[in-house]
Chain A
Amino acid sequence: MATTIKQIDDFLALKRIAVVGVSRNPKETSYTLWQELRQRRYDVVPVNPATPEIDGRRSYASVRDIDPPVEGALIMTTAAVAEQVLEECVAAGIHRVWLYGGLGGGATNEATIAAAERHGLDCVAGHCPYMFLPGTPVFHSIHGFGKKLTGSYPKPG
């Protein structure tokens, strides 16, 4: 399942998105990306079963608990946890997901990609949203450029 630019554009066109695995640590990528999306006026809902609140925002234990429901889920857990999250997304009626991919793999591996396919989810697999948000710090563009050089950048589709 090769992710296309259209899938990424469609995901980033959503308004209300769950971010699963948001850390309370401001130095963690999951926290900074959640903040980035907030500042871009996405209605982003944190999901972290370890805490009821992050930065004054209610944090949910599962995507199934979110009300009103979200349109998509950005999954930033480890791959080991992501399979369970995908099942919860299906149970919550979420059909559009993004398996975060960063250094160390993030939520993406062969098993999670296969699980997303098995569930029939529209899945962005293995990329970092920072590369596709306009006007982010230059190193994110360099990351994208590197992916283009290695042929792993998404195709238009």
Chain B
Amino acid sequence: MPTATVIYRSASGTTRRLAEEIGAHLESRSINTTVQSVGDADPASLAGVDIVLLGCWTSGLLVVAQHPDEPWKAFVRQLPALSQGRVGLFTTYKLATGSMFAKMRAALAGKVDRVDLELKSRDGHLSEAGRLALDRFLGTV
């Protein structure tokens, strides 16, 4: 059975909810999934995982200067190279994600070869489109 770890950084609980819904969807696809916050997860433990999903709330000034916040970046700095598994990103936001995914990818430079999924949600719920995107992503594993 493939393994997945969903890591989230949540300020208000919305990104945590999305992480938990992503985790439940992966479990429903028979993937052994762990959902953890950046405060609880051991970065080194992600090295051998088949699927890694990294999520963070969209910080910034609503429509400009969006970026992942320091606790997420601190976690990413401690990550080993994730060359074995597939990596996806997710975020929650109020008005726009703007440069959020670009900044997340930049933070991961040198840690991952490529990012195969970018998933976003305003309310922390996984939409039908989000489920389909996840399924397409899983099809590549």
Contacts and interface: CB of A to CB of B under 8 A. Distances in A.
A26 interface: yes
A134 B70 contact: yes
Contact of A38 (B12, B37, B70): B37
Contact of B10 (A35, A134, A135): A35
A71 interface: no
Given A38-B37, A38-B39, A135 B71 contact: yes
Interface in A22-62: 26-27, 32, 35-36, 38-42
Contacts of B37: 35, 38-39
Interface residues of B, number: 16
Contact of B13 (A32, A42, A136, A138): A32
Interface residues of A, dominant DSSP: loop
A151 interface: no
Given A26-B13, A35-B10, A35-B13, A135 B70 contact: yes
23 contacts: A27-B13, A32-B12, A35-B10, A35-B37, A38-B37, A38-B39, A38-B40, A39-B10, A39-B37, A39-B39, A40-B39, A40-B71, A41-B39, A41-B71, A42-B39, A135-B59, A135-B69, A135-B71, A136-B11, A136-B69, A137-B11, A137-B12, A137-B59
Interface of A: 26-27, 32, 35-36, 38-42, 134-138
Interface of B: 9-13, 16, 37-40, 59, 61, 69-71, 74
